[in-house]
Amino acid sequence: MSPTFLDAIALTHRPDMDVLFLRWPQPVYAFTPREVYTQVLELAQETKVRYWLFDIRSRGPLSLEDAQWVKEVFYPTLHEQINRHIYVAYLLTPGHAEDPTTVAHAEELRQQEWFGQTASFEGFTSETDAMLWLKKCQLQEVLT
């Protein structure tokens, strides 16, 4: 599938890897994270892909309002929308990965009842490490 571009945001499904890539190569103000994540969900429903890599190094942290939406709406409704476990690898800058607000938000999300049951995520500063984690998740599902 060719990439979908939403004002400099690239959304691509790689069937050979069974991974959906969201690349946010620059700060984009024409689309909110909610609009972009809705596009991700639509492509995931169409392709049935459950392994996602979100390259948000240039996007930066979410606003408090968008972070709340991710916690209360996006992740909790994924299972209803996809009906299978979703794995998301976030590609972050080292500063973003160590940002206290980002770390606290990730820990808060990990405490939600859906985490590990219907959706899982990890943050990485290396795309190689992110892809290895996604591959590990794929292999674990094959073995179980």
DSSP annotation of 115: B
Residue 1's pLDDT band (boundaries 50, 70, 90)?
very low
2-55 per-position pLDDT tens digit: 445 455 678 899 999 999 999 887 665 656 788 888 888 999 999 999 999 999
- Any domain includes 88: yes
Structure tokens at 102: 């980002």
CATH number of the domain that 111 lies in? Answer: 3.40.50
> Does residue 4 fall inside a structural domain?
no
Query: pLDDT tens digit string along 59-105?
Result: 867 788 888 898 899 998 888 888 889 999 999 999 989 999 889 98
Residue 33 domain-assigned (yes or no): yes
* Strand 4-5, strand 10-14: pairing: antiparallel
Q: What is the largest CA-CA distance in the chain?
A: 42
Q: Tokens at residue 72, please?
A: 């209360």
- What's the number of domains the chain is made of? 1
Domain encompassing residue 38: 10-143
What's the helix, strand, coil split of the chain in %, to 5?
A: 45, 20, 35
Q: Is residue 115 part of a domain?
A: yes
Mean pLDDT value of segment 111-134: 95
Given this model, what pLDDT does residue 2 score?
45
Which amino acid would we find at residue 79? H
In a domain, 109, yes or no: yes
Residue 73 lies in a domain: yes
pLDDT confidence of residue 6: 52
**How far, in Å, CA of 1 to CA of 14, rounded?**
7
List the 119-124 sheet strands across, edge first.
Answer: 4-5, 10-14, 19-23, 51-55, 86-91, 119-124
Is residue 19 situated within a structural domain?
yes
C-alpha 67/C-alpha 56 separation (Å) is 14
pTM given for the model: 0.88
Give the other-Cβ count within 10 Å of 28's Cβ. Answer: 16
Binned at pLDDT 50, 70 and 90, residue 126 comes out as: very high
Residue 3 lies in a domain: no
